[in-house]
Amino acid sequence: MDAVNPATGERVDSYDAHTEHEVDDALERASVDFEDWRERPMRDRERLLESVADTLRENEGEYAETMTREMGKPVEQAVAEVEKCALCCDHYAEHASAYLGADHHPSPPGSSAKTVHEPLGPVLAVMPWNFPFWQVFRFAAPSLTAGNVGLLKHASNVPGCALAIESVFRDAGYPEGVFQSLLIPSERVEPVLADDRVRAATVTGSGPAGRAVAATAGDHLKKTVLELGGSDPFVVLDDADVAAAAETGAWARNQNGGQSCIAAKRFVVHTDVYDEFLRRFTDEFESLVVGDPMDDGTDLGPQARPELLSDLHDQVTASVDAGATVVTGGEPLDRAGAFYPPTILTDVPEGCPVDSEETFGPVAAVYEVADESSAVELANDTEFGLGASVWTEDRDRGERVAGRIDAGCVYVNQLVKSDPRVPFGGVNDSGYGRELAGAGIREFVNRKTVWVE
């Protein structure tokens, strides 16, 4: 597996894929170590997670640079990602015991009934490249602390990140089989998931990847959690703080080079504030610095791979051919590396690629609507249902509109984000199940009822 710097096109490093024998050894270690790990007192597992947070903070610069070299995110954003992973570990180190405490139920006199939460076993995590540390830690921190063991199949363009994460857990004192990275291509995921030693799987990634894993897991009756794509609406109502909406909206679309499932992608703006919003929004886009991701002050680095840039530009070109108007951007930058500028399209025809597909890069589609009902209708006009953002100065109105939008999470006067304190996940083609908070740590447990007479 080659790690290629998308800012330069140069190979960073090369890694040997694990052989079938090495994968089998990893599965056996996971199975054996799980039996001891599940018996470790919860407080021991919480203390080890505290050590993981310490390890992350002590080496954040090294981990951030690995991310930046392999997938191109600006290094300042990569440092923030490592810090967020540490905060996630802090959260579960503090709250795991409470999240997994027994639930007691009414029962006849002289008896007791409760539900206890027991780990399932080895869990396969198929993870993407766009947030190569955070996506892994929001699975690993709760799942390992619940007593499961993890097997990471990371994206093939971030093998250095995969091995670095494995080393974080080893350096923090975890047994070898509790968290392991499998350097294997996607076509070798199915036999790993089908193996009897693997008890469940979680996927963050594309719809096709999620469907493939879910189909195999279904054949073997194994639990899955899927966090898939999104085409999040960003609704700006007539009473919104337009300046704040434009500033936050620009970042919600362009953070991480626009390569985020929960990025704002479809900007649905009330006609009364449309012209002002578009003017401010365009100014914000054009002020963003596109450049070397290793430089402080860079807002957008390259797209993670040249073919991803090509796919994104094909979506823009097809949409313009269908009638969309380019306000700013719209052409790959004439420089080495996979750089695409922040791009805004208006007059977006129904059914064109930027309207009906997920755009995984810094491209915003802006729509003008006549009223609140039209805004909600357009926000829901998608096969996805991951997140949404609503902007209004009336908090009650914002909450009411949030209730009408079909999504796994809706933020009022804030960009959509994942936070360890609240559940995260989607509906419809954005997947099922939840990560983070109490809901996330209870996804991969056996909710066992114990009745004592």
Q: What is the pLDDT of residues 16-26, one digit of tens each?
A: 999 999 999 99
Q: How far apart are CA 213 and CA 1, in angstroms?
A: 22
pLDDT recorded at residue 134: 98
Predicted confidence band at 428 (pLDDT cuts at 50, 70, 90)? very high
Q: Average pLDDT of 117-135?
A: 98
Which is catalytic among the residues 89, 161, 261, 409? 261
Which residue ranges make up each domain of the chain? 2-227+428-452, 232-412
Cross-strand partners of 116: 448
Confidence of residue 270 (pLDDT cuts 50, 70, 90): very high
What phi and psi, each to the nearest 5 degrees, are found at residue 113? Answer: -135, 130
Average pLDDT over residues 214-230: 97
C-alpha count within 13 angstroms, C-beta hemisphere, residue 336: 6
pLDDT in tens, 181-200: 999 999 999 999 999 999 99
The pLDDT assigned to 137 comes to 98
Tokens of 369: 């609507």
What's the CA gap between 108 and 385, in Å, rounded?
Answer: 43
Quick one: which of 94, 146, 141 has its CA closest to 116?
146
Task: Find the helix packing angle between 134-145 and 42-58, rounded to 10°.
Answer: 160
Q: Mean pLDDT throughout 124-152?
A: 98
- Give all strands of the β-sheet with 325-328 in edge-to-edge order: 325-328, 343-346, 363-369, 264-270, 232-236, 387-391, 409-412
In the chain, % of residues over pLDDT 70: 100
Query: At what angle are helices 395-404 and 372-379 packed, to 10 degrees?
Result: 40
Class level of CATH domain 2-227+428-452: alpha beta
CA 141-144-147 angle, 5° bins: 145
Q: Can you read off the two tokens belonging to residue 355?
A: 């309207």
Q: Which of 166, 227, 368, 443 is catalytic?
A: 227
Please give the pLDDT value at position 406. 98
Question: Residue 340's pLDDT is what?
Answer: 98
Model confidence pLDDT, tens digit, residues 72-116? 999 999 999 999 999 999 999 999 999 999 999 999 999 999 999
Answer for the pair 200, 226: CB distance below 8 angstroms, yes or no.
Answer: no
2-227+428-452 shares its CATH topology with 232-412: no
Residue 281's CB is within 10 A of a number of other CB atoms, namely 26
- Quick check: is 227 catalytic? yes
pLDDT band at 167 (very low <50, low <70, confident <90, very high): very high
Confidence of residue 148 (pLDDT cuts 50, 70, 90): very high
Pairing of the two strands 387-391 and 232-236: parallel
* CATH architecture of residue range(s) 232-412: 3-Layer(aba) Sandwich (3.40)
Average pLDDT in the chain: 98
Output the pLDDT for position 17: 97
Helices H, strands E: what count in the chain?
15, 18
